[in-house]
Amino acid sequence: MANLLINFEIDVEDLGTAYINRLWIDQFREWKYDLHNHYISFEGHEEVLTHLPLEFEHRMSECH
């Protein structure tokens, strides 16, 4: 009997990349939505800058 060789060519890299891209896009969209809601909860631009979201406070201290 002859051995039967079956070759399933599946490009795993494309599948993984698409999945990771979708995860990052979803996370960015949610982050942008939360940031926008934080911005509209204040009267003006200066007030927003004095009341940063908690996730930005440590970043601002690293920049200065």
Q: For 5-62, how does the pLDDT look when each residue is reduced to its tens digit (9 = 90+)?
A: 777 676 666 667 888 889 999 999 998 998 899 999 998 888 988 888 887 766 666 6
Question: Structure pTM?
Answer: 0.57
User: Domain limits at 54?
Assistant: 15-62
Q: Three-state secondary structure along the chain?
A: CCCCCCCCCCCHHHHHHHHHHHHHHHHHHHHHHHHHHHHHCCCCHHHHHHCCCHHHHHHHHHHC
How large a percentage of the chain has pLDDT more than 70?
Answer: 70
Q: Per the domain annotation, does 36 fall within a domain?
A: yes
| Overall number of domains in the chain | 1
Q: What is the CA radius of gyration of the chain?
A: 23
Q: Per the domain annotation, does 9 fall within a domain?
A: no
Q: Per the domain annotation, does 3 fall within a domain?
A: no
Closest among 39, 59, 58 to 49, alpha carbons compared: 39
CB 42 within 8 A of CB 52: no
At residue 33, the pLDDT reads 93
